[in-house]
Amino acid sequence: MLRFWHSLLFIIGTLLCTAAAAQEAQGPQVAALAIDRSKGFIFGWAYDQPSREAAEARALKEVADRGGKGSVVMVWSGSGCGAYRTLDAAEGNAYGWGLAATREAADAIALEEIAKRTTKVAFSNVWACNSDKTQPFEPIFVDRNLPSVVIGQQEWLATNLNIDRFRNGDPIPHFTDIAKFFAEGNAGRPASFCYPSQPCEVTGRYYNYFAVIDSRGLAPAGWRVPEWNDFAKLIDFLGGPSSAGNRLRAPVSWPEWSKPVGNASGFNAKAVHSATWISDVEDQFAKGIVERAVFWTLTPHRKRDYVIALRVASYGIGDETQEDSGDLISGLSVRLLRVPLDAGAIDRGAAGYPAPKPVSPAAPGSAAGGPGPRPKSATPVPKTSLTPATSLTPSPAEQGAATDQAEVERLNAAARAEADRQLREVEAMKAKAKADQEAFEKASAAHRAAVAKAEAEAAAYARAKAAADAQAAEYAREKAAYDEAMRRYREGTKPK
């Protein structure tokens, strides 16, 4: 009997060691969060997964099952936790997420993030943690949740980029002295710049091209610096070069002569010029007469050491939206494009730090690598008021909000129709202003002609009067001589 128990203990010990070795060989557990950015109340979690691919696929599948279009925003491994805050479907679309070593710290970040986007109370507070607490916490990917706007089939950063660190965490050298900024560029080093009189929070930062292409990655994860073709598609979608400018420009910061401004696209381009040797840029800011914005692309220019850029401007004679160029040491604004998970886009500005790997959700337990059923060792339900992600079921509001592609197309069509309406209003205002100007110029010309005629007539009258006065003076002289002659004649004397 004793031999039996010894054998049983030996078998159990062997199994436990084998399981531990298998767990160690498998690596740390991986978790992920995916959301529908257009409907933040639709989201999906994954945890205790064997790989990043499996975790992303699981989270995306949960979003799809709830009727949404998913986008992965957080991936991590080990003992950390993720938290997510969002609004009820009836309250609007705002959200925030956080990732930290503890659930409480992650939720504090999520609360801070959603507070940047809404003053309403976040109804949903969900979280997920990997159940294995023996592995170190390691963030794999965190979307910085930069403000964005969808224009056509593209999702653009809705403000000028204003970040002080590369994607890997290294600081980006920053200057407010233009000479020092250009010195960095001349040395081939990355740098950013802001004018002393203009806060970076208002203008965004001006980056030289060495910062744009630095291998550490200027664009945060999930974003990329655009090519010229990306801007060309944007301009074409907004009606071409003659129409796009008004739809791209923000309603503030532009000179009075360049208004009204439509900003129908939500791109929110501000007149911030560029970091240049031109000495009066700050004076232009002070007078409110800055009339251009210039954005980097990754597309080389036909000139050596130049890169194609986009210029949006208004010079009082109409909007200008066209190709420009910048030398490598110039400081230009940066707008980013979101990297779609299904696009396979190459982030040329972040060699060595690629965007999240695309994941195609597979059926549960399939040979394609899709995750199987959730492990039974799920994260335990907390004793606080926080609600675990696994306990959340789709609400009627979520189910009713799961619109299909036709609804998305309808919204896009409505947005385009509104943009066209605003453009027509602007064109009508321009036409009226032109007609009024032409009428004013015609009236002014008629007035000038009348004044010239009156002046000519007055001059002629003055000349005639002068002649008449001269004749009168001559007549007076002749009459005086005649009177003198008659006087002498009457007195019996002869005139001399």
Residue pair 175/184 in contact by the 8 Å Cβ criterion: yes
Where on the phi/psi map is residue 449: left (φ > 0), alpha (ψ -120 to 50), or beta? alpha
141 closest CA partner among 85, 81, 79, 77:
77
pLDDT band of 407, cuts 50, 70, 90: low
Per-residue model confidence as pLDDT tens digits over 266-318: 898 888 888 877 667 777 877 777 778 889 998 888 765 678 888 787 765 55
Higher confidence at residue 122 or residue 79? 79
pLDDT given at position 389: 36
* Helix and strand element counts for the chain (H, E): 11, 18
Q: Enter the tokens of residue 338.
A: 């979101």
CA atoms of 438 and 6, how far apart (whole Å): 107
Helix (H) or strand (E) holding 276: none
Long-range contacts of 96-103 (CB under 8 A, 24+ apart): 96/122, 96/145, 97/33, 97/35, 97/73, 97/143, 97/145, 99/74, 99/139, 99/142, 101/137, 103/127, 103/129, 103/382, 103/386
Q: What is the pTM of this model?
A: 0.52
Burial class of residue 48, CB neighbours in 10 A (0-12, 13-18, 19+): buried
pLDDT band of 43, cuts 50, 70, 90: very high
Where on the phi/psi map is residue 455: left (φ > 0), alpha (ψ -120 to 50), or beta? alpha
Going from N- to C-terminal start, the domains of the chain cover 26-146+373-403, 148-359
What is the dihedral angle through the alpha carbons of 448, 449, 452, 453, rounded to the nearest 10 degrees?
-150
> For residue 384, is pLDDT > 60?
no
> For residue 441, is pLDDT > 50?
yes
Q: What percent of the chain has pLDDT over 90?
A: 22
Higher confidence at residue 145 or residue 355? 145
Coil, strand or helix: which one is 325? strand
Greatest Cα-to-Cα distance within the chain, rounded to the nearest angstrom: 189
3-state helix, strand, coil in the chain (%, to 5): 40, 20, 40
* Strand bridging mode 95-100 / 30-36: unpaired
